[in-house]
Amino acid sequence: MRSDSVAYNMDAAFFAAMNMMDKRTEFRYIPHTYLNINNTPIHFVGERKHKFSEQIVEGDVKSGRFIIWYVYGEEIVGFVTVGYQNLHIYL
Protein backbone atom coordinates (compact mmCIF):
# COMPACT_ATOMS: atom_id res chain seq x y z
CA MET A 1 0.00 0.00 0.00
CA ARG A 2 1.31 3.45 -0.86
CA SER A 3 0.31 6.55 1.06
CA ASP A 4 0.16 10.13 -0.22
CA SER A 5 2.69 11.10 2.46
CA VAL A 6 6.25 11.08 1.10
CA ALA A 7 7.73 10.97 4.63
CA TYR A 8 5.66 7.90 5.49
CA ASN A 9 6.64 6.13 2.26
CA MET A 10 10.34 6.76 2.89
CA ASP A 11 10.16 5.52 6.48
CA ALA A 12 8.12 2.48 5.48
CA ALA A 13 10.64 1.59 2.75
CA PHE A 14 13.55 1.89 5.19
CA PHE A 15 11.90 -0.36 7.76
CA ALA A 16 10.84 -2.85 5.07
CA ALA A 17 14.47 -3.07 3.91
CA MET A 18 15.67 -3.57 7.51
CA ASN A 19 13.16 -6.40 7.98
CA MET A 20 14.29 -8.04 4.72
CA MET A 21 17.84 -8.07 6.12
CA ASP A 22 16.53 -9.72 9.34
CA LYS A 23 17.23 -6.62 11.41
CA ARG A 24 14.96 -6.01 14.39
CA THR A 25 13.19 -2.71 13.97
CA GLU A 26 10.05 -1.12 15.31
CA PHE A 27 8.03 1.17 13.08
CA ARG A 28 6.25 4.00 14.91
CA TYR A 29 4.91 6.57 12.53
CA ILE A 30 2.83 9.46 13.82
CA PRO A 31 1.24 11.31 10.91
CA HIS A 32 1.40 15.09 11.34
CA THR A 33 0.16 17.82 9.00
CA TYR A 34 1.00 21.49 9.57
CA LEU A 35 -0.75 24.52 8.10
CA ASN A 36 -0.37 28.23 8.69
CA ILE A 37 -3.48 30.19 7.69
CA ASN A 38 -3.49 33.96 8.30
CA ASN A 39 -0.60 33.55 10.78
CA THR A 40 -2.64 30.98 12.75
CA PRO A 41 -0.75 27.69 13.24
CA ILE A 42 -2.89 24.58 12.69
CA HIS A 43 -1.52 21.13 13.50
CA PHE A 44 -3.39 17.94 12.65
CA VAL A 45 -2.11 14.70 14.15
CA GLY A 46 -3.71 11.49 12.89
CA GLU A 47 -4.45 9.57 9.73
CA ARG A 48 -6.23 11.49 7.01
CA LYS A 49 -9.74 10.32 6.08
CA HIS A 50 -9.98 8.21 9.26
CA LYS A 51 -13.48 7.39 10.45
CA PHE A 52 -14.66 9.07 13.63
CA SER A 53 -17.92 8.95 15.53
CA GLU A 54 -17.55 11.99 17.77
CA GLN A 55 -15.80 15.38 17.93
CA ILE A 56 -14.86 16.99 21.23
CA VAL A 57 -13.98 20.71 21.14
CA GLU A 58 -11.79 22.01 23.97
CA GLY A 59 -11.31 25.76 24.31
CA ASP A 60 -13.08 28.74 22.80
CA VAL A 61 -13.41 28.71 19.02
CA LYS A 62 -14.06 32.48 18.92
CA SER A 63 -10.74 33.19 20.67
CA GLY A 64 -8.84 31.32 17.94
CA ARG A 65 -7.16 28.86 20.35
CA PHE A 66 -8.79 25.46 20.64
CA ILE A 67 -8.31 21.71 20.23
CA ILE A 68 -10.63 19.32 18.41
CA TRP A 69 -10.38 15.64 19.38
CA TYR A 70 -11.65 13.02 16.92
CA VAL A 71 -12.98 9.91 18.65
CA TYR A 72 -13.98 6.55 17.16
CA GLY A 73 -15.70 4.37 19.74
CA GLU A 74 -13.55 4.70 22.85
CA GLU A 75 -10.33 5.58 21.03
CA ILE A 76 -8.90 8.98 20.07
CA VAL A 77 -7.95 8.67 16.41
CA GLY A 78 -6.70 12.23 15.81
CA PHE A 79 -6.69 15.82 16.96
CA VAL A 80 -6.30 19.35 15.64
CA THR A 81 -4.68 22.21 17.54
CA VAL A 82 -5.54 25.71 16.32
CA GLY A 83 -3.69 28.80 17.53
CA TYR A 84 -1.03 26.91 19.52
CA GLN A 85 2.55 26.96 18.25
CA ASN A 86 3.95 23.63 19.53
CA LEU A 87 1.19 22.13 21.66
CA HIS A 88 0.98 19.03 19.40
CA ILE A 89 4.41 17.95 20.67
CA TYR A 90 3.22 17.77 24.29
CA LEU A 91 -0.07 16.04 23.52
CA of 22: how far to CAs of 15, 16, 17, 35, 74, in Å?
A: 11, 10, 9, 38, 36
**The whole model's pTM is what?**
0.67
Which DSSP letter does residue 16 get? H
Same domain, 41 and 24: no
- Number of folded domains that form the chain: 2
Same domain, 35 and 48: yes
Residue 70 pLDDT: 95
Which residue range forms the structural domain that includes residue 15?
A: 1-30
Residue 4 pLDDT: 76
Q: What is the full per-residue pLDDT of the chain (91 aa) written as tens digits?
A: 566 778 778 878 888 888 889 888 776 777 888 889 998 999 999 888 889 999 999 999 999 999 999 999 999 999 999 998 877 777 6
The answer to whether residues 79 and 70 touch, using CB atoms and an 8 Å cutoff, is yes
Q: What CATH number has the domain bearing residue 87?
A: 3.30.390.30
Same domain, 45 and 71: yes
Same domain, 54 and 87: yes
Same domain, 21 and 50: no
Same domain, 37 and 4: no
